[in-house]
Amino acid sequence: MKHLLSAQDLTRESAIGLLDTALEFSAVAARSVPKLPTLRGVTMVNLFFEDSTRTRLSFEAAAKRLSADVMTFQAHGSSVSKGESLKDTAQTVEAMGADIIVVRHGMEGAARELAHSGWVNTPVINAGDGVGAHPTQALLDAATLRNHLMPEPRGSGLEGLSISIVGDIMHSRVARSNVFLLNTLGASVTVVGPDTLMPPEAAGWPCENLRDLDEAIAGNPDAIMMLRVQKERIDPEQLGGMDRYSARYGLTEARANALPQHTIVMHPGPMNREVEIASVVADSSRSVILDQVKNGVSVRMAALYEVWGDHS
Ligand code: CP
């Protein structure tokens, strides 16, 4: 795998390979010195044109656990404010010694363009491009689902599992990447949300489409993944107001109690507490939200290991 750009580029075999590698790496975190020499002498650059907490920090942690050197670029405070382009920024960091570039950008397709334009010769990992893709998020979600719900995670897909993804599907690269990856791994996926937050192309995705959250809950999903309402991209009037949205699509305590006991609650973060998810549910024993964060580090170690291994 020269680059990691989209969950749709992953075959079942390559996805399971990445998840198994991540499982091996997760054991490193438990050591007194959680470090391997695997990427010693390699420099990973985080090229972040959009804000991030989890993805940026976990790529940093992943690279450091593999003994790579890390440089972080954030558009805010950089020469992007003077009009510098993605191409010039990427070539600048490559000239400073970048061996692997991890990019987050607001424009859909930016990571693929960087990988295939010939601007740089490094492997590129997509850390989120507009509403396009967020493949490492989907992989860490799959890792979390395997660990919690599959009797023997190593080597397994997600056959037999049903997963509901709820909320702002329209603006979510997490939803897009998860629908395709979870389907590739054998799970049944349902997307749930109001018409105003459901992109027309969802009708052609390999998943069921629902408008009613209570109907999805009555289907006894094994996992329910709540999505952040991307308030910065939505006029609340479109939703009839946030209170109305929460009443129809929020995972309240009553709705969580209607789920089967084994059902896990997921959220990619950052959360709007009391909008798409009640605090009491986010902090409950069935919530695996912090496990998702923890699995993000080992999945990103696996992604760095794979792209570097195929490049060098
Ligand atoms: N889930 C996710 O991508 O979070 P950040 O925006 O904090 O990286």
pLDDT band with cut points at 50, 70 and 90 for residue 20: very high
Beta bridge partners of 224: 164, 265
* pLDDT beyond 90 at 235: no
Closest-CA residue to 224 (of 182, 162, 134, 177) = 162
Instruction: Give per-residue pLDDT as tens, 280-291.
Output: 999 999 999 999
| Separation of CA 48 and ligand 1 centre (Å) | 11
Which one-letter amino acid corresponds to residue 297? V
pTM of the model: 0.97
| Arithmetic mean of pLDDT, 31-39 | 93
Q: What is the pLDDT of residues 127-154, one digit of tens each?
A: 999 999 999 999 999 999 999 999 999 9
Residues 6+ apart with CB under 8 A from 306: 1, 4, 17, 18, 21
Whether pLDDT at 266 is above 90? yes
Buried b (16+ CB within 10 A) or exposed e, 136-170: bbbbbbbbbbbbbbbeebeebbbeebbbbbbbbbb
Report the C-alpha gap between 126 and 66 in whole angstroms. 19
Nearest CA residue ID for atom 3, ligand 1 = 55
Share of the chain above pLDDT 90, in %: 92
Q: Is the CB of 137 under 6 A from ligand 1?
A: yes
Strand 208-210 vs strand 124-129: parallel, antiparallel, or unpaired? unpaired
Q: Compute the mean pLDDT over every residue in the chain, rounded to the nearest whole number.
A: 96
pLDDT for 238 equals: 80
**What whole-number distance in Å separates Cα of residue 138 and Cα of residue 183?**
11
Q: Which atom of ligand 1 is nearest to the CA of 50?
A: 6
DSSP letters spanning 96-146 = TT-SEEEEEESSTTHHHHHHHSSS--S-EEEEEETTTB-HHHHHHHHHHHH
Q: Cα–Cα distance between 101 and 90 in angstroms, integer?
A: 8
pLDDT at 29: 83
Confidence of residue 245 (pLDDT cuts 50, 70, 90): very high
Q: What is the 8-class DSSP label of residue 162?
A: E
Q: Is 52 in the pocket of ligand 1 (CB under 6 A)?
A: yes
**Distance in angstroms (rounded) separating the CA atoms of residues 261 and 246:** 23
Strand 162-166 to 124-129 pairing? unpaired
Q: How many CA atoms lie within 13 A of 161 on its CB side?
A: 30
Of 44, 48, 25, residue with least CA distance to 36: 25
Percent of all residues in the chain with a pLDDT value above 70, rounded to a whole number: 100
Task: Return the pLDDT at 69.
Answer: 98
Mean local confidence (pLDDT), 198-207? 97
Q: Ligand 1 centroid vs 16 CA: distance in angstroms? A: 23
What is the CA(134)–ligand 1 centre distance, in A?
Answer: 9
> How open is the CA angle 9-10-11, to the nearest 5 degrees?
120
Residue of 55 and 311 predicted with greater confidence: 55
Structure-token pair, residue 183: 């389907």
